Amino acid sequence: MISMIILLQAAGLAVLGKVGAALGAALAAFAAGYGIGKIGTSSMEAIARQPECAGNVRTSMIIAAGMIEGAALFAIIVCLLAIVLK
């Protein structure tokens, strides 16, 4: 009887770990989308204010968006590995 209770608790914790990892992956994806959206909004406002600096702003925007995308991809892969390896 006691071993059955221990097995049920262990199974419950394994499911909670997978749910937590899935929520972490979703949060990383949403945060990356929000961050890239903020970068796009700010860069469009900057280009509208000073059209002559459009090339520099666009380059900075692409670099920042790439860095956010890389960090988000790393976070999602770590969360998915937690799901698979647990």
φ, ψ dihedrals at 50, nearest 5°: -135, 85
**pLDDT the model gives residue 44:** 95
pLDDT tens digits, residue range 13-62? 667 778 888 888 899 999 999 999 999 999 999 999 999 999 999 999 99
Token code pair at residue 62:
């692409």
Give per-residue pLDDT as tens, 3-13: 656 655 555 66
- How far apart CA 31 and CA 39 sit, in angstroms, is 12
Q: Does the pTM of the predicted model rise above 0.85?
A: no
Residue 53 contacts by C-beta under 8 Å, 6 or more apart in sequence?
46, 47
